[in-house]
Structure 1
Amino acid sequence: MSVAVRRTVVALSSLVACALVVWTVRVAPWDWLPEDGGDRLTLGTGIGAVVAAAVIFALTSWIPPAAGPAPAAGGQPRRVTQIAEAEDWAVIEQAAGNRDTGGRTPRQAAPADALTQRATGRGRSRIRQTGGDEVEGS
């Protein structure tokens, strides 16, 4: 079952629980409830809101957490912008991730939350921009 369907089920369950509590308080002939219909509605709405919140709290473990990009060190979003302009025989190499050139395992870095790459080359220039981790030979 998709996350959207699960969220919809949780939301509808909480609404049904709230409506059921409000209806029960309005029609129940219990002596301890207020006699006035407006007071009963107020009491039912308050209790219904608490029950709806409890239903949402109970069912949140059923919904998987949103899978988003991991924040960079320090908890700040990592934004990477690479802009390169080359002419003649220029060689430009840029990497937003890690580039392993000696058979070593690249160090782990948080992926970029936003990556922008622009390149302009003229003549016999060469531009190489890497957005993620790269291991030599791949």
Structure 2
Amino acid sequence: MLWRVSYGFFGRIIKIGEMPVKYDSWGHISSIGDLNITYDVWGEMMEIGEMSVNYDCWDRISSIGNLNITYNFWGQIIKIGDISVRYGFFCRVSSISPLNIHYGFFGRMTEITIPQVSAPINGRLNHQQIAALVAILVQNEIEDYTCT
């Protein structure tokens, strides 16, 4: 299956496949499809749908619901629950198992694909896959696409 990633005028993602991505007045992602994302007064994520977001002492996301997040030595997410995260060129995420992420010439996400064997029945990503994508998007905002 293939989900195209669409961007709006200001370079923000506005759609992933058929799932609209909405933003709040502060510029934070407020929902992806039917999954709402809430923030506290300091702008840190509190919940993704029904899953609470917890932080560690370095102010990194440590878990989303029952999905523990594991980081490597350089601070990159390598595992979200049982989901492996792999990196390609320029330290960009190339897969969030079984999702494969493709980038365009300017380094923007253009497509998300999944092997037909693992494709969801309704053609939509499940809430855990969306939560994993949100964690990676937050990491990308912080890391500025550079290897450390």
Question: TM over 0.5: same fold?
Answer: no
Whose strand proportion is higher, 1 or 2? 2
Coarse TM-score class (shorter-chain normalised): under 0.3
Greater RCO between the two (CA within 8 Å, min separation 6)?
1
Give TM-score, length-normalised by structure 1.
0.20
Whose helix proportion is higher, 1 or 2? 1
Give TM-score, length-normalised by structure 2.
0.19
Name the larger-Rg structure. Answer: 1
